Amino acid sequence: MKKKNVVYSVATAVALVLIISCSGCSGISTGFTKVADAITNPTPREVYAREFKDKKDQFAAWENAYTNAIADSLQVTLPYGEKGDFVAYSNRTYAYTFQLEEGEVLVANVVKDSVSKRVFMDVFEQKAAVWQHAESSTTGDGTLEFKVTQTGLYKIIIQPEVIASTNFFISLNKQPLYAFPVAGKGNAAIGSFWGMERDGGKRNHEGIDIFAKKGTPVIAITNGTISFTGERGLGGKQVWLRDGLFGKSLYYAHLDSIAVQGGMSVKTGDTLGFVGNTGNAKTTPPHLHFGIYQSGAINPLPFVYQTNPVTEAKFSRSFKTTRLKVRGSANLRQAPDTKAQTLGSLAANDTVVLLGQNNDWLHIQTPAGKKAFIHKSLVREIKG
């Protein structure tokens, strides 16, 4: 049997060599490329590079703009939105740094007037002051979702293809990994947070408390398996839901009654029990104590906290041209905020290139290539 496997392996290798060396065999070559891609799983950027076989200098300039964007220091707070224009052959890149917490999901989207134009997106995570690649968009359609497994600083780089010439709206939103654990409730029902003192400072709160009427359904916030149900300790009547075989344990406590049994498989939205005040919550209003554990307690708030996404309708544009002139001395800001760090300044009549607009703030690039934010009141359009 082993000898046959060796023979087949050699034959396969020879066949692959013949395919590679076959000149004029475009059909075979295309087929081989598809097979190779299925094995190596190249990124959209790597696939795009193949289109520049005879235009290597053009692609090198596009790639260089991407590399330089990794060093950009602009910071935004999510959710964030920006309107602007992609300009063909300008090699513009859009890089934003922001804070994300474990349990959040970054949802990035680029809406374009021309849906055929490709946009590539890459997420980086800062580790030991170095930006490390974490995720790439799987297509060039301008969409990306990234699940955050570690709290920290992240950067996204958005780069249109070389020939892209179209209006755009960039939206950077975050959403919780899980659903909200109490039916019909949301952020406003959270009355006690992670880390608050308990028992006169003897311990800290390892979860969040969500207040609701007694009997309000408590639901599964993800698909999983019930690992324990019962009444014990401070939590009174409780349910433990495991997210995956080796995933997190989700803790529902102080229940008035329990609607599931250990070993059951549940899906998101299934009722696990009902809000109560059992255990050490007998003297408090009915509420759900919700916690998450994996090698210790984890702050559950980012996993369930709901944030309203930005929408294009809420963003306006002030200028029709992409070249602007500074009215007087103007500070360049690291973020779209007058309190943000100053990255430099410009003098009257200096020119800048408009990359995009975040309502009253403009995302610009100076003649020296520095990117920054500047308030729209500090510039004017160049006539003629």
Instruction: Please give the Cα distance from 84 to 73 (Å, whole number).
Output: 20
Is the model's pLDDT at 20 over the cut of 70? no
Residue 8: its pLDDT value, please? 41
Query: Which CATH number belongs to the domain containing residue 104 in this structure?
Result: 2.60.120.380
Query: Which CATH number belongs to the domain containing residue 237 in this structure?
Result: 2.70.70.10
Query: Could you identify the residue written with the tokens 């950027």?
Result: 45
Q: What is the pLDDT of residues 1-13, one digit of tens each?
A: 444 444 444 444 4
Per cent of the chain over pLDDT 90 is 77
3-state secondary structure 210-248: EECCCCCEEECCCCEEEEEEEECHHHCEEEEEECCCCCC
Q: What is the pLDDT of residues 182-213, one digit of tens each?
A: 999 999 999 888 656 565 555 566 899 999 99
215, amino acid identity = G
- Domain co-membership, 216 together with 160: no
Mean pLDDT of the chain: 90
Residue 235: its pLDDT value, please? 93
Query: Which CATH number belongs to the domain containing residue 358 in this structure?
Result: 2.30.30.40
Per cent of the chain over pLDDT 70 is 87
The answer to whether residue 45 is domain-embedded is no
Query: Which has the higher per-residue pLDDT, 40 or 206?
Result: 206
Residue 114: its pLDDT value, please? 84
Give the count of domains, the chain: 3
Tokens of 149: 């497994």
Residue 121 forms beta bridges with which residues?
158
Q: What is the pLDDT of residues 222-261, one digit of tens each?
A: 999 999 999 998 999 999 999 987 789 999 999 999 999 9
- Domain co-membership, 74 together with 157: yes
Instruction: Please give the Cα distance from 287 to 124 (Å, whole number).
Output: 39
The answer to whether residue 6 is domain-embedded is no
H helix count then E strand count, the chain: 5, 27
**Sequence-distant (≥ 6) Cβ neighbours of residue 201 within 8 angstroms:** none
Helix (H) or strand (E) holding 351: strand 351-358
Report DSSP state, residue 182.
B
Q: Which of 178, 205, 235 is the last residue of a domain?
A: 178
pTM across the whole model: 0.86
In this structure, the number of other CB atoms found within 10 A of the CB of residue 261 comes to 10
The answer to whether residue 39 is domain-embedded is no
Helix (H) or strand (E) holding 7: helix 2-21
Query: Which has the higher per-residue pLDDT, 34 or 318?
Result: 318
Tokens of 367: 């003649």
Q: What is the pLDDT of residues 74-112, one digit of tens each?
A: 999 999 999 999 999 999 999 999 999 999 999 999 999
Residue 139: its pLDDT value, please? 86
Residue 2: its pLDDT value, please? 43
Tokens of 207: 């979860």
The answer to whether residue 158 is domain-embedded is yes
In this structure, the number of other CB atoms found within 10 A of the CB of residue 238 comes to 24
Instruction: Please give the Cα distance from 377 to 22 (Å, whole number).
Output: 62
Structural domain for 291, as ranges = 187-304
- Domain co-membership, 321 together with 298: no
Q: How far is CA 95 from CA 27, 65, 372, in A?
A: 39, 11, 11
Residue 271: its pLDDT value, please? 98
The answer to whether residue 15 is domain-embedded is no
- Domain co-membership, 109 together with 157: yes
Query: Could you identify the residue written with the tokens 């994300």?
Result: 100
Is the model's pLDDT at 15 over the cut of 80? no
Query: Which has the higher per-residue pLDDT, 148 or 206?
Result: 148
Query: Could you identify the residue written with the tokens 């369930």?
Result: 304
Q: Which of 275, 304, 333 is the last residue of a domain?
A: 304
Q: Which of 269, 304, 339 is the last residue of a domain?
A: 304
Residue 30: its pLDDT value, please? 62
- Domain co-membership, 203 together with 100: no
DSSP string, 25-85: -HHHHHHHHHHHHHHH---HHHHHHGGGTT-HHHHHHHHHHHHHHTT---B--SSEEEEEE
